[in-house]
């Protein structure tokens, strides 16, 4: 049971790290500014403009890690 909990917890952390890296890549690329952009880069505050397009991009991106 412990091993299963450990795996699920670590998998969750890995998924979060990969999601954050994905968002950061998009935030740093002006091409995606219509989908997601920085509100305040110093405070790491960003705004998602088009959630449906962001979700579609995440689906494509995350497929490569599964």
Question: Which domains, ranges and CATH numbers included, belong to the chain?
Answer: 20-66 (1.10.10.10)
pLDDT of residue 19: 87
**28 pLDDT more than 80:** yes
Q: Calculate the average pLDDT of the chain.
A: 80
49, 58, 51: which is closest to 25 by C-alpha? 58
Q: What is the pTM of this model?
A: 0.73
Report the distance separating Cα 57 and Cα 53, nearest Å: 6
Confidence at residue 3, expressed as pLDDT on a 0 to 100 scale: 42
pLDDT digits (tens, 9 = 90+) for 35-61: 999 999 999 999 999 999 999 999 888
């Amino acid at each position: 049971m412990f091993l299963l909990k450990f795996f699920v917890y670590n998998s969750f952390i890995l998924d979060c790290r990969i999601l954050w890296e994905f968002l950061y890549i998009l935030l740093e690329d002006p091409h995606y500014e219509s989908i997601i952009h920085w509100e305040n880069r110093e405070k790491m505050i960003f705004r998602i403009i088009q959630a449906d397009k962001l979700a579609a991009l995440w689906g494509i991106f995350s497929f490569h890690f599964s």
